[in-house]
Amino acid sequence: MPTSGTGATEARTRGAAPAHGAGARGFTLLELLVVLAIVSVVAGMAVLATGGMGGRRLEHAARSTEALLAHACERAALTGRDVGIALVAGGLRFGYLAPQGFQPLRDDPADPLRPRMLDETVRLILSRDGDVLSPQPDPPSAPQLACFASGELTPFTLVLEAHDSSERWQLAGTLDGSLRLERTDAR
């Protein structure tokens, strides 16, 4: 009976296990170790990626708040109507300043200045002229800040912090209508 140089035909005819290669089943120890190493690296990256979620949520809330206030001031300048901003428990309310008082905007999904509630872990601390202002009841009766059609803004400082993050974000508004957002790490 002819055989190959490896003796594969002879091994098959005697009922012996096939040589490593064609028809072999299972994984070698080295292959298993490589797979375990890859799974460990991926799991470690997932743990590291989710470890800073509190800081990411807080940064997102700070940047969103900055964008909303900038939009409110742009709307005031474009429409010629003063826009009021009120801090309520857990969020912000926007509205127009009218002769009959503050008129909060309705909850219209198409309006960027609809009532905004922040993540429940985020705490807002608003101060104006060195005094910390308490959140208003919702709906608010009066705004605490205003973007005027003239381009001016009530000067303020808004601190955003979260119980699951050591970071703090501070948003400062100045009389000329400019906003400045910065991260601080100290509490």
Q: Which amino acid is located at 110 in the chain?
A: A
Instruction: Evaluate whether residue 45 is within a structural domain.
Output: no
Instruction: Evaluate whether residue 161 is within a structural domain.
Output: yes
Instruction: Evaluate whether residue 170 is within a structural domain.
Output: yes
Instruction: Evaluate whether residue 113 is within a structural domain.
Output: yes
Contacts of residue 100, Cβ cutoff 8 Å, sequence gap at least 6: none
Instruction: Evaluate whether residue 166 is within a structural domain.
Output: yes
Range of the domain at 143: 53-184
CATH number at residue 68: 3.55.40.10
171 has which bridge partners? Answer: 158, 181
Instruction: Evaluate whether residue 4 is within a structural domain.
Output: no
Angle made by CA atoms 171, 173, 177, in degrees to the nearest 5: 140
Q: How many domains does the chain have?
A: 1
Contacts of residue 103, Cβ cutoff 8 Å, sequence gap at least 6: 95, 96, 97
Full pLDDT tens readout for the chain, 187 residues: 555 555 555 545 555 555 555 566 888 888 888 888 888 888 777 655 554 567 888 999 999 999 999 999 999 999 999 999 999 988 999 999 999 999 999 999 999 999 999 888 899 999 999 999 999 988 898 999 999 999 999 999 999 998 888 899 999 999 999 999 999 875 5
Q: Are 160 and 168 in contact (CB under 8 A)?
A: yes
Instruction: Evaluate whether residue 13 is within a structural domain.
Output: no
How much is the pTM? Answer: 0.70
